[in-house]
Amino acid sequence: MAGNVSDNLKAVQSDIAKACRKAGRAEGTVTLVAVSKTFGAEDIRPALEAGQRVFGENRVQEAHKKWPKLREDYSGIELHLIGPLQTNKVSEALALFDVIETLDREKLARAFAKEREKGADLPRLFIQVNTGEEEQKAGILPEEADGFIKLCRDELRLPVEGLMCIPPVDEEPALHFALLRKIAERNGLSALSMGMSADYETGIELGATHVRVGSAIFGART
């Protein structure tokens, strides 16, 4: 069960504004992606009522259960996939999501290209970089990022908008955010999805254009 979602949302929005001022950035340069995974429509509706329109989900199946109905009831929703995507779920994901933040391997990039050949409109894409080079985590390794960006953008002509990362839990996130920003800058990519409930202010300080905030809005997940 979520806490007081609209109060939490207001507090997060105000912290984002504060972090923007501190970093000398205009407030509108950061998009809040409210991560509603594991929470039901009854917990999401208060956020929609409060005006929030950008949401993140980590599972195709779960999103499929919740969002078609919510889209009927509220206009202007922008849904981001922030969890791993299997290639056999690509066409379903294209139908559901406006942004896919987890383009993390060549096989998936080629699956997107194939869908477009078949006539599909592709969503905006972020490439996930495994900045901590963690065995268990998805994403392109930092030293392979430039080549992968080239493949996606130049060869496959995918609509790559930016980069995303999830830093290791036990490390200083700032180092990972700075690395992600460096890779984006040298490749001319403008969007950076970095920062979650515990570290979104740090993300903003280091140039995040998107922060993915779940528990600070909806409460602890069970």
Residues that bind ligand PLP (CB under 6 A): 35, 37, 58, 82-83, 166, 196-198, 212-216
Q: How far is the CB of 213 from ligand PLP (least distance, A)?
A: 5
Residue with smaller CB distance to ligand PLP, 90 or 164 = 164
Give the Å distances, CA to CA, from 55 to 51, 99, 101, 149, 185.
12, 10, 12, 25, 26
Q: How far is the CB of 130 from ligand PLP (least distance, A)?
A: 12
Q: How far is the CB of 136 from ligand PLP (least distance, A)?
A: 14
Residue 5 tokens, joined: 């979602």
Q: How far is the CB of 57 from ligand PLP (least distance, A)?
A: 9
Q: How far is the CB of 34 from ligand PLP (least distance, A)?
A: 9
Residue with smaller CB distance to ligand PLP, 64 or 114 = 64
Residue with smaller CB distance to ligand PLP, 142 or 214 = 214
Residue with smaller CB distance to ligand PLP, 19 or 196 = 196
Residue with smaller CB distance to ligand PLP, 75 or 136 = 136
